[in-house]
Amino acid sequence: MTGNILNFLIDLKLDLTDLDCAELVIRQAYLVGSDLAGVNFTNAQMLDCAFTQTFSSVLAIAYHPTADTLAASDSNGDIRLWCVSDGQCLLTCSGHTNWVRSIKFSPDGRYLASSSDDRTIAIWDLQDGGVCIKNARRGHS
């Protein structure tokens, strides 16, 4: 339902600045070409949503704690950081070989942790170009 409402607001060309979508489940929102500056997507679950730039299925998102940046992980094993205000891809972290199921920023926003179906957990240094500084293989469960 949230996706329908968001699509409706976008179709009406309403200003979405300061829209609070935190903690919501957003399904099938068509966000291509939308100005999402100031929209709060903190801990929102994006399901079957379309964004400006094509990437594979988005599996997790995280909103940067101090910047206007959204991280999205995908089924190709990549994590992309997006500028919310202009929709530009700022950085791509590549290194996982399977679906990246979860991502989380450090409290200061310098690092990003990720876990993948390739059975690894990675720590990315975002101030150093998204370099993977730690990669740990998970044991058998």
Nearest-angstrom CA–CA distance, 138 and 56:
24
Residue 88, CA distances (Å) to 7, 13, 18, 44, 110 in order: 20, 20, 19, 20, 19
| pLDDT value, residue 139 | 58
Domains present along the chain, CATH in parentheses: 1-52 (no CATH), 60-141 (2.40.10.480)
pLDDT value of position 53: 59
Distance of CA 5 to CAs 26, 55, 97, Å? 9, 24, 35
- Separation between Cα atoms, residue 112 and residue 117, nearest integer Å: 17
Note whether 46 and 58 are within 8 A (CB).
yes
* Tens place of pLDDT per residue across the chain (141 aa): 677 888 888 889 888 888 999 899 998 888 887 877 778 888 888 888 877 655 568 899 999 999 999 999 998 899 999 999 888 889 999 999 999 999 999 999 999 999 999 999 999 999 999 899 888 886 544
Name the token pair of 87. 């929709």
Cβ neighbours for 54, distance < 8 A, ≥ 6 positions apart: none
pTM: 0.61
